[in-house]
Amino acid sequence: MWISVTLETDAAHAEALSDALIAAGAISASVEDAYAGTDLETPQFGEPGSPTTPLWEESRVVALFEPADDLLGRVAAATVAAGIDDLPEITLDEVEEQDWVRLTQSQFDPIRVNDRLWIVPSWHVAPDPTAINLILDPGLAFGTGSHPTTFLCLEWLTQQLAGGETLLDYGCGSGILAIAASRLGAGSVIGVDIDDNALIAARDNAANNSVALELRHSRAKLDEKFDVVVANILTNPLCVLAPLLASRVAPGGRIILSGVLDIQAADVIAAYAPYLALNVGATREGWVRLEGHMANSRVA
């Protein structure tokens, strides 16, 4: 048996409280919306792993402990360590022993992009053996295909890649888009990311899918031009990167951008306007996919 400890606090203290509970012996701690499941619930937008996603102003911290006589005292001490002056209400609930691995795995089912492509966790049998099945387990975040922005990019790749293209996946994360492009017939694929852990995840996922990717850190030189440039990140970095990403598109090539809310699309389109025209190619759950084509007459 385990003990689930729940406390409510504000965004300024939620992460510190979570860390303090771990330091006090919790085997796990998570931060949730205190209003989850009500009309006041606030959705958080951002591809998993994004450091810019804010916490909820009214947050709930849930920690899991082994039973102990001094548990309440340890939790109270953790609130002090987190800088919380007034002790919040503490709720304790018993949690029966479970097969946590099996329970976690049961939450992740194969994801169908379309008839051509599925994302399949390694513990599942591929629902359609005739399709292209990417083996990708939920792990270090960075994208597993479940987020609308990743889905929009996968959808484009399955519909538009003819085979043989050179492709750049900028902000490759788990490598899911780069791996999918390679499996869909791209001639050569380079994945770039600013995060060393993302590059490790991409390398491992590529190996699990028997795909050869060239992976680079964003600080490395990048002077090639590509038939297709894909970037699934967020609006602000997409705008900042406009000169770089546009310059990597070969004459006659295409650029696909995602990670953009529909209310932000105009900002990204304006940022790329000096280089090429972008249009909204598709939308999904409030997110958009922006698409552009580089004129053949462009001077390098």
CATH topology (fold) of 2-97: Alpha-Beta Plaits (3.30.70)
Cα gap 229→120, rounded to integer Å:
25
pLDDT tens digits for range 225-254: 999 999 999 899 999 999 999 999 999 999
* Domain 109-293 listed as CATH 3.40.50.150: yes
Select from 253, 33, 50 the least CA-distant residue to 149.
50
Q: What is the mean pLDDT of residues 260-266?
A: 94
- Residue 47 clears pLDDT 50, i.e. is over it: no
Q: What is the pLDDT of residues 157-176, one digit of tens each?
A: 999 999 999 999 999 988 99
pLDDT at 30 over 80: yes
* Packing angle of the helix pair 196-208, 176-183 (nearest 10 deg): 30
pTM: 0.67
User: Length of the chain in residues, anyone?
Assistant: 300
**What average pLDDT does the segment 267-272 reach?**
97
Tell me the pLDDT tens digit for each residue of 71-97. 999 999 999 999 998 999 999 998 876
Assign residue 145 a region (left: φ > 0; alpha: ψ between -120 and 50; beta: otherwise).
left
Cβ distance 174 to 133 under 8 Å?
no
Domain residue limits, the chain: 2-97, 109-293
Q: Tell me, what's the pLDDT at 72? A: 93
Question: Distance between CA 177 and CA 189 in Å, rounded?
Answer: 10
How large a percentage of the chain has pLDDT more than 90? 63
154: which 2 tokens?
A: 């996968």
